[in-house]
């Protein structure tokens, strides 16, 4: 099965690719998943029709699944289903079925904090307790080193405690 993964973050694609490879090697997902060569993992801007629409449309016929991973950025009024799909409204129904949107709450670092038992603000009101801020204080974290944290993720904790990780995991399971 060929997949294309799009993210809005410059350092996210390397992280996600390592996470997927770990999920494969640890038998959480099928070993027959392969990244579409020229498309994965690429950047998108979630609020930009040209970015989301063109990139998804350019790959949709060549893959079995398109996964869009975006950060909610502590904005609980942001509805990823409404916002992303308005950029993809002219996709054919068979192509729409291939697209899965995963919104981390509030950001991808949520997965790291949960794995490392670090408490963070899920409500979005306390910017000092965003996962990335917690990691900066406790781990001397820098976004440019995001991919190094893929090895530290605890998949069992994430599958039990993170809705976004569960959705991401499920987006990689083909029936």
Where are the chain's structural domains?
2-108+161-171
How far apart are alpha carbons 170 and 167 in whole angstroms? 5
Local confidence band at 50 (pLDDT 50, 70, 90 cut-offs): low
pTM for the model stands at: 0.90
pLDDT at 49: 44
How far apart are alpha carbons 40 and 56 in whole angstroms? 11
Architecture of domain 2-108+161-171: 3-Layer(aba) Sandwich (3.40)
Instruction: Determine what percent of the chain is predicted with pLDDT higher than 70.
Output: 87
What's the CA angle centered on 100, arms 41 and 23, to 5 degrees? 60
Local confidence band at 87 (pLDDT 50, 70, 90 cut-offs): confident
Give 123-135 pLDDT, tens digit per residue.
767 889 999 999 9
**What is the maximum alpha-carbon separation in the chain?**
46
pLDDT (average), residues 80-100: 86
pLDDT at 74: 59
CA torsion, points 82, 86, 90, 94, in degrees to nearest 10? -30
Q: Which two tokens stand for residue 17?
A: 């690719």
Among 14-23, 68-77, 163-172, name the one with the lowest average pLDDT.
Answer: 68-77
Decide: helix, strand or coil at residue 118.
Answer: coil
């Amino acid at each position: 099965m060929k997949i294309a993964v799009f993210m809005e973050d410059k350092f996210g694609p390397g992280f996600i690719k390592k996470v997927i490879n770990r999920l494969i090697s640890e038998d959480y997902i099928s070993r027959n998943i392969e990244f579409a060569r020229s498309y994965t993992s690429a950047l998108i801007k979630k609020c930009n029709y040209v970015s989301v629409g063109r990139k998804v449309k350019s790959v949709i016929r060549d893959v079995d699944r398109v996964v869009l991973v975006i950060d909610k950025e502590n904005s609980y009024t942001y509805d990823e289903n409404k916002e992303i799909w308005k950029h993809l409204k002219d996709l054919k129904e068979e192509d729409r079925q291939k697209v899965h949107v995963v919104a981390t709450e509030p950001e991808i670092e949520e997965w790291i904090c949960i794995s490392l038992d670090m408490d963070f603000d899920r409500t979005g009101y306390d910017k000092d307790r965003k996962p990335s801020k917690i990691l900066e204080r406790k781990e001397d974290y820098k976004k440019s080193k995001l991919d190094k944290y893929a090895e530290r993720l605890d998949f069992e904790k994430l599958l039990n405690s993170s809705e976004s990780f569960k959705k991401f995991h499920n987006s990689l399971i083909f029936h």
